[in-house]
Amino acid sequence: MPDACPEAKRYERSGERRLNSVNPDNLYDDRDVHLPSSGWRCERLIPFPEGDGSCQACGKRPIRYLHELRHANYDKPIRLCTGCARKLEADPRAARWRVNDARDEAKMRAHWREQNWWISENQNWYLRIRGFGVTLYETRNGSWAFFIDHRQSSDTYDAWDEAMAAAFDAFWQRRMRDVEAQRARPKKANTKVMLPKPKGDRDWARLDREFAEMLGNDHA
């Protein structure tokens, strides 16, 4: 059982997680359920605007977001809280990233029109946000379209509201693609050499010797 969910008892047996619920709202109540301890993948993040979600593993509630995970050796998907999903997925950071991204998207979408838009003399709408340039403009036939940086939308929209909503969707898709690519990059090794902190009077000769020894040990 995930350590983050103390409501249920934890067992380890033959590479499986045996979950016994003590929460009456748990789908697995009154029976033992054997879940593979690895190999799970998340299919989608399910929002519950009223916060009435419930984790199928530990019974924790109320929950705003549930992660729907599926396994090749398990007959149906399960919906878990972030704490349980972190224990079953290959990358324990993925569940937290999904929740943070969903909250960020909902907040930005709600305030998309209230951003610092600049309207030109030609009634084009410009916005610079999160490193992207967004441009909304009216075409010659009276419809609306947009650019994300230098990429034009493939469709046109009859109303300004529709173009504004579509521009956010395109912006968010581009942003998440860049964010996921950045997360997938391996972290660089820390090669920074910390200089010894002098005590009392600065003995520069001693510092030079210690620094030379540090470089020698690092490159040995």
pLDDT digits (tens, 9 = 90+) for 17-44: 444 444 544 544 545 667 777 889 999 9
Q: pLDDT tier at 4 (50, 70, 90 boundaries)?
A: very low
Q: pLDDT tier at 207 (50, 70, 90 boundaries)?
A: low
* Residue 17 and residue 94 in one domain: yes
Can you read off the two tokens belonging to residue 72? 């090749």
**Does residue 23 contact residue 7 with C-beta atoms inside 8 Å?**
yes
* Residue 99 and residue 150 in one domain: no
* Residue 138 and residue 69 in one domain: no
Q: Compute the distance between CA of residue 217 and CA of residue 106 in angstroms, rounded to an integer.
A: 51
Residue type, 203: D
Domain boundary among 40, 74, 108: 108
Domain boundary among 87, 108, 129: 108
* Residue 100 and residue 119 in one domain: no
Evaluate whether residue 208 is within a structural domain.
Answer: no
Mean local confidence (pLDDT), 97-122: 94
* 87 pLDDT higher than 70: yes
Q: pLDDT tier at 198 (50, 70, 90 boundaries)?
A: low
144's enclosing H/E stretch is strand 144-148
* Residue 86 and residue 140 in one domain: no
More confident residue, 194 or 163: 163
Evaluate whether residue 59 is within a structural domain.
Answer: yes
* Residue 89 and residue 153 in one domain: no
Evaluate whether residue 80 is within a structural domain.
Answer: yes
145's enclosing H/E stretch is strand 144-148
* 213 pLDDT higher than 60: yes
Nearest to 159 by CA among 141, 147, 142: 142
Predicted pLDDT at 134: 93
* Residue 159 and residue 87 in one domain: no
CA atoms within 13 A on the CB side of 113: 8
Evaluate whether residue 194 is within a structural domain.
Answer: no
Whole-Å CA distances, 151 to 73, 145, 155, 213, 217 = 43, 11, 12, 54, 51
Helices and strands, number each (H, E), in the chain: 4, 11
Q: Compute the distance between CA of residue 45 and CA of residue 43 in angstroms, rounded to an integer.
A: 7
* Residue 70 and residue 119 in one domain: no
Q: pLDDT tier at 3 (50, 70, 90 boundaries)?
A: very low
* 100 pLDDT higher than 80: yes
Q: Compute the distance between CA of residue 15 and CA of residue 13 in angstroms, rounded to an integer.
A: 6
Under DSSP, the state recorded for 154 is: S
More confident residue, 161 or 199: 161
**Does residue 35 contact residue 69 with C-beta atoms inside 8 Å?**
no
Predicted pLDDT at 208: 63
Residue numbers of the domain that contains 137: 113-184
Predicted pLDDT at 200: 53
Predicted pLDDT at 45: 95
Arithmetic mean of pLDDT over the chain = 79
56-60, 130-134, 214-218: the lowest-pLDDT one: 214-218
Predicted pLDDT at 214: 59
* Residue 85 and residue 98 in one domain: yes
* Residue 89 and residue 47 in one domain: yes
* Residue 137 and residue 117 in one domain: yes
* Residue 84 and residue 145 in one domain: no
- Number of structural domains found in the chain: 2
Q: Compute the distance between CA of residue 27 and CA of residue 54 in angstroms, rounded to an integer.
A: 9
